[in-house]
Amino acid sequence: MISNKICADFDEAISDIPDGAIIGIDSWAVSATPQNLIAAIKRKGIKDLTIVTHCLIPMIFGEEQAIMVSALLPQMKKVIAAVVGIQHLGAGTFVEEYERNGLEVELTTMGTLTSRLYAGVHGIGGFYNPVGVGTILEKGKEKRVIDGREYLFEKPIRLDYALIAAHKADTMGNLVYKGIFRGDHPMMTMAANFTIAEVDEIVEAGAINAENIITQGIFVDRIIQIPQDGLGTTQKLKELIRILGDIEPARKLMFKERATTGR
């Protein structure tokens, strides 16, 4: 079957994203991150972006090794995120310079962010959220008591574009993910007007069991296979682990010491 969703070039894949676009990019440091699409957006220099992401943490690798959402900070007008920085490394200090230059940072909780995307998916005009009551997240939000409990009004999030990192796509654009790389990608694909997915492998329609498909092709507009020399390949990810293993604070964060027992 001929697919018109397959794209061969990352620069071409993002070529129609305009300045000022609202883009969902899920990310957990380098995991679940559509690195090659981010790199293409950086190359093109699309600006005034609103980025919706769960985790915005500082770049910990050289850009030839791995690229993270924070590489786009100079191109952002606004970011909506639940994690900004790493607590014991001075949370969020790396965005201060950008904030002084006008970057708007909207903090939220992970659960609230994914609920706002869900509302965006379903065309729900907003919802009353129990999370955040009594916290700094109350600021500027309508508070309402329903059946004796306090809630804050949260608006939906719709995305102009979602950038996705999936494991396999079939030629219809159906996606499956691997491990925790699924992240919030399924919700982001549905909340977006246009979805571009980079994948480890593109397979023929029928090669993925219909029952196992996680994201349906109707939500995926463009797919592109990560080339062997691309970012985020199995080999590159293995290298990153070795690099981190040589940095003591990173190793201590990611691995347990042999001295400890149990889990």
Give contact residues for another protein (rule: CB under 8 A). 26, 28-32, 54, 81-87, 90-93, 95-96, 105, 107-112, 114-115, 117-118, 130-137, 178-187, 214, 237, 240-242, 245, 251-258, 260-263
Cα angle 212-216-222, degrees, rounded to a multiple of 5 = 125
195 in Cβ contact with 168 (< 8 Å) = no
Please list, residue by residue across 210-219, b when 16 or more beta carbons sit within 10 angstroms of its beta carbon and e when fewer do: eeebebebeb
Distances (CA, A) of 198 to 16, 32, 37, 73, 233: 16, 11, 7, 21, 11
Would you say 91 or 205 has its CB closer to another protein?
Answer: 91
Nearest to 165 by CA among 31, 61, 10, 55: 31
Q: Which residue has tokens 């992970």?
A: 110
Choose between 6 and 243: whose C-beta lies nearer to another protein.
243
Residue (44 or 141) nearer to another protein, CB: 141
The CB-of-185 to another protein minimum distance in angstroms stands at 7
Least distance (Å) between residue 253 CB and another protein? 6
DSSP string, 31-43: BT--HHHHHHHHH
Nearer to another protein, 182 or 222 (CB): 182
Query: Cβ of residue 59: shortest distance to another protein, in angstroms?
Result: 15
Q: What angle do CA 149, 155, 160 make, to 5 degrees?
A: 155
Comparing CB distances to another protein, the nearer of 190 and 202 is: 190
CB of 105 to another protein, least distance (A): 8
CB of 12 to another protein, least distance (A): 27
Q: How far is the CA of 115 from the CAs of 26, 101, 259, in angstroms?
A: 14, 30, 41
**Which DSSP helix (H) or strand (E) runs through 77?**
strand 76-81
Q: Which amino acid is at 208?
A: I
Closer to another protein by Cβ: residue 23 or 95: 95
Closest distance of CB 248 from another protein, Å: 10
